[in-house]
Amino acid sequence: MRCSRFTASVVATALAYSPVAGLAQPSRPAPKAKPPAAASQGIQPRNASPVTVQLKPEPDQPDWTKVCGTDDKAKREICYTTRDFVTDKGDKVLAVAVYDAKGKKPETTLRILTPLGFLLSPGLRVTADKGRPVPGRYATCLPQGCFAEAALKGDFVTAVKKGAALNVSARNQAGTVVTFVVPTEGFGKAFDGPPIDPQVLAEQQKKTQEALQKRSDELRRRLSSQSNNPSSSPENGAASSTN
């Protein structure tokens, strides 16, 4: 089993991710510039008003999911506890996974899928509630978002278990620090509990795929209806109302 990536369900869900309007400035690479002095103390830029985004669990996922398997190369068991999160409008924004590698040198790694448009070089910061921040770095980017990771110590994991939220902060191309507030209710129970049954996991993945397909079909139908009936567009409706 390869445990270096998210589960198929998380990756599939990531295919539906889109940057949150006004938070992640997309596409165009930022010009190289000397980081502001405040960056040496963290990712907070000068003269910028931070933005906080409250997230909630993806409705299609009943709870945090723990998956375990064996890393054939390292010959050790690796488990990860994962969940996807959306805005209050249902926009998919973040996927979080905490990897727990057993063995002589145990390792715990936080992996996060963030929207596109954040500056890569400052990385990001994660805190458990109002605890001490832990730095993270971006590892790779896909068309659907960027993966970042941070090495965690036992006390941080304990804080996440007992706390109410995981705060993920990154700086976008507009120079604004955006903090995603991720609720962690149920994480500790899932992290310390038994892994999910493979059959149940397969059923959850199937439901996730079906939900994504349904949303995609609904969006396609709406777009098709608007293109076939131009008079129903907001612009034409507004024009007709003035006649």
**What kind and span of H or E run contains 8?**
helix 8-14
Q: Which residue has the higher pLDDT, 25 or 192?
A: 192
Measured between alpha carbons, how far is 208 from 232 in angstroms, rounded to an integer? 32
* 207 occurs within a structural domain: no
What φ, ψ does residue 155 adopt, rounded to 5°? -70, -30
| Rounded Cα distance, 4 and 18, in Å | 23
Residues 6+ positions from 233 with CB-CB distance below 8 Å: 226
The number of beta carbons lying within 10 Å of the beta carbon of residue 58 is 22
Summarize pLDDT for 70-100 with one digit per residue, the tens: 887 878 889 999 999 999 998 889 999 999 9
Does the structure show a pLDDT above 90 at 206?
A: no
Residue pLDDT, tens place only, 33-69: 344 333 333 444 445 689 999 999 998 887 999 999 8
Q: What is the pLDDT of residue 48?
A: 67
What is the count of structural domains for the chain? Answer: 1
In-domain check, residue 171: yes
User: What pLDDT, in 10s, does the model give residues 115-144?
Assistant: 999 999 999 999 999 999 999 999 999 988
**CATH number assigned to the domain comprising residue 181:** 2.60.40.1880
Is 200 among the domain residues?
A: no
With respect to residue 209, please indicate whether it lies within any of the assigned structural domains.
no
Tokens representing 239 are 């024009």
Q: What percent of the chain has pLDDT over 70?
A: 73
Contact between 177 and 44 under an 8 Å Cβ cutoff? The reply is yes
Q: Cα-flanking dihedrals φ and ψ of residue 209, to 5°?
A: -60, -45
Dihedrals φ, ψ of 149, to 5°? -145, 155
Residue 217 lies in a domain: no
- Residue 214 lies inside a defined structural domain of this protein: no
CB burial class (10 A; 0-12, 13-18, 19+) of residue 28?
A: exposed
Is 205 contained in some domain?
no
Which domain, by its residues, includes 81?
8-26+44-195
Q: Is residue 139 part of a domain?
A: yes
Look up tokens 């709406």; give the residue: 222
